[in-house]
Amino acid sequence: MNIHVVRPDGSWYSRPDITLVRDADRFCLPDDCPSALAVHGCCIRIGKAGKAVETRFAGRYADGWTDAVLFYGRSADGTVTPYLDRATQVDRTFHGTDTLDTARLQRALDALVRISRHLSLRIGDFLILETDAPAELRPGGFFDNIAIL
C-alpha cells in the first residue's frame, strides 16, 4: 500500500505505509525532534489499480473517503520531515465519494490523474489531500484529541 499526500499548492510526495495508524492514537515525538506540525487531510481510498488514468475515468478509481491527520517532525535546526513512525493517522470509517463536497472531490480526482502519470495506483492505496495550514505542536499539546507526548 502507498500513501500519496497532495499539498494545497498541488505538489505531492509519497509516505511509506509504516507511518500509517488506523486508529487515532498517541503520537510521540523522537528525542531529537522538539516540535511537530499537524495538518488535517481528506483521505481518498483507491479501489481500482491503474496507471496513467484519464480524467474522464478518474471517478472509477476513488472508492471512499475519510478524515486524516498528518504529522511532520521538526528538528532543532528547523528541518521538517514527514517520515516519522505513526505520523499518518486515518479514521477507519470510510464514506461514499458521493457524500464528499464537489470541490474537494474534483481536487482529489485531478490529483489522482496527475499522480497516476508517474506511479501505478494499487487497490488500497491512499490519496490524502491536505486541507488546512500546518498547526505548530509542542510536546504536551493536543490536536483533535490526538495527544502529543
The whole-model pTM stands at: 0.85
pLDDT of residue 1: 83
pLDDT of residue 144: 56
Torsion of CA 106, 108, 113, 115, to 10 degrees: 160
For the chain, domains (ranges, CATH) are 3-147 (3.90.850.10)
Confidence class of residue 149 from pLDDT cuts 50, 70 and 90? very low
Q: d(Cα 146, Cα 90) in Å, to the nearest integer?
A: 12
Cell of 83: 517520515
Least confident interval from 25-29, 103-107, 133-137: 25-29
Residue 114, pLDDT > 70, answer yes
What pLDDT digit, counting tens, does each position of 30-66 carry? Answer: 666 777 888 999 999 999 999 999 999 999 999 999 9
Question: To the nearest whole percent, how much of the chain has pLDDT over 90?
Answer: 49
